Amino acid sequence: MRVRSKGGYPQIPMMRIKIRKSAYAALLLTFLYGCSDAGYLPYAPHALAPAELQAIVGEASARNGVPPALASAVVMAESGGNPSAISPAGAQGLMQLMPGTAATYNVANPFDPRANVEGGTRYLHDLLARYGNNVTLAVAAYNAGPAAVDSYHGIPPYAETRAYVARVLTAYRSY
């Protein structure tokens, strides 16, 4: 390639670079969501108003016998209050229900805030019952699954789960 001079300035040939649509999507997602642990920032544009979120969580918690502060702590740790949150693993909505869990708890639309929190608090209630109201184990099972908690007879040794449990319990105690 020859570089021609125009007006005393060297001309650098422009190369056409083909970028796949998936690369554009990845770049866009990185730009939009940054480095947030949850993938979404709390009270981002898609998030519910705090009073509305509190009302939804309070109603579902009361119906399902789960402390509202615990359900709120899980919601904030899971989605930052964003009802349209999707994790890389496929968990969806405010309480980041996996598709199988959503089906088990009859959540037809995991992006419907009321349905998601209803299903998530029922699941949390069942985990609390399973672990004798041990909040630490229930929260660990919510993150890593009951099989992992049962297998390790406690909090699994996964760094992500240990950090999650600490984060949720700290928030739970502060509500």
Whose tokens are 């702590």? That residue is 73
Sign of CA dihedral 152, 155, 157, 161: positive
Residues assigned a catalytic role: 78
Longest dimension (CA), the chain: 81
pLDDT value at residue 36: 37
What mean pLDDT, rounded, does the chain reach? Answer: 84
DSSP result, 54-112:
HHHHHHHHHHHT--HHHHHHHHHHHHTT-TT-B-TT--BTTTTB-HHHHHHTT-S-TTS
**pLDDT (mean) for 102-131:** 97
Min mean pLDDT across 18-32, 72-86, 87-101, 106-120 is at 18-32
Distances (CA, A) of 38 to 1, 77, 90, 96, 132: 48, 7, 13, 10, 29
Whose tokens are 């199988």? That residue is 100
pLDDT tens string 38-91: 344 444 556 789 999 999 999 999 999 999 999 999 999 999 999 999 999 999
Predicted TM-score of the model (pTM): 0.74
Return the domain boundaries, the chain.
50-174
What is the CATH class of 50-174?
mainly alpha
